[in-house]
Structure 1
Amino acid sequence: MRFATLALLTGLVIAGFTAPAFANDDATDVAAIRKVMSDTEAAWNRGDIETFAAGYKDSPDTTFVGASVRKGFQPILASYRKNYANKDQMGKLTYSDIDVRVLPCADGKAQYAIVTGRFHLDRSAHGTAAKDDGIFSLVWEKTKDGWKMIHDHTS
């Protein structure tokens, strides 16, 4: 049995078969996603919704699921502007329990990732968004502009 396995592996090597190359190291992708998360948290805490929203892919397919479903980058951005109209309503955002799972494609290159975690808003004022604590699951896509959120489910 061992000889058959060795023969099969030797045959695969001779035939030129190689396992997919992992050109993009998972640790590099995880660090890049965590950096975007950190940058969005910092932007929020400065009261900068525009820069915060830059973590989302600017696409009509980008989706946010919360109390309702919003489809498209512009409607998502408009909702943030409406629900968090000023810095007092935005407060201080803190992410915790972040878990990043990179999903390699058949060629071994990372194209998508799933991120889960918790958020907390420490604030003195509330606009139309009253929730201060919750969980999220995010689907990320590696784009020409870096890692971007394409699906956000926050509750």
Structure 2
Amino acid sequence: MKQLLLITAILLSITATAQNNDEQTIRNILKRQNADWNAGNIDAFMKGYWESDSLMFIGKSGITYGWQNTLNNYKKNYPDTATMGKLHFDIISVKRLSVLYFSVVGKWHLTRSVGDAQGHFTLLFKKVNKQWVIVSDHSS
């Protein structure tokens, strides 16, 4: 009985550590994206996304499929640093959905000389080739 309790405690500890490490990795990706955006570097910002035709971005204009199409839309809608402004994320929740998936809900805010903008987002992260990437982004 004591061995079973010890094994259970060890497994729970390993699971909790993996959860914390993965969650911190995802939070670090978002911090890096925030810094890249604020540096005016959309190409670096896009490194947080899955570089695949299956990437899905849902915004005010509808659904965009594909990493390249998403990058093109960002560059079209944010052609310069004045339009990009300074980004700030408020993370509301980070939840593990399974071994391969995390959900992130938060708020975004752009401080800009051309007028501030803000909204909410839901991100679906997936572990692809041992890397956490955004596979779906719904921002409004």
Deviations 1:83-127 (A, max 9, x none): 0000110000000133110122xxxxx21100000000000126x
Matched, 1:138 2:123: yes
Instruction: Give 1:151's aligned residue.
Output: 136
* In 2: Cα distance, 1:148 partner to 1:62 partner: 10
Moved more, 44-53 or 142-151: 142-151
Instruction: Give 1:27's aligned residue.
Output: 20
- In proportion to residue count, which structure has more helix? 2
Instruction: Give 2:47's aligned residue.
Output: 54
1:125 alignment partner AA: V
Moved more, 43-52 or 92-101: 92-101
Question: What is the aligned length?
Answer: 131
Instruction: Give 1:15's aligned residue.
Output: none
Alignment match of 2:88 (pick from 91, 94, 97): 94
Structure 1: 5+ residue stretches without partners? 1-5, 11-18, 105-109
Label 1:76 to 1:31 Cα distance change in 2 as closer, same or farther (>3 A): same
SS in 2 for 1:22: helix
1:153 alignment partner AA: H
| TM-score (norm: length of structure 2) | 0.85
How do 1:102-113 and structure 2 match up within 5 A?
A: 102-104=96-98, 110-113=99-102
Q: Percent identity?
A: 34
* In 2: Cα distance, 1:83 partner to 1:145 partner: 31
Q: Which has the larger radius of gyration?
A: 1
* In 2: Cα distance, 1:140 partner to 1:80 partner: 19
Deviations 1:128-153 (A, max 9, x none): xxx71100000001122621000000
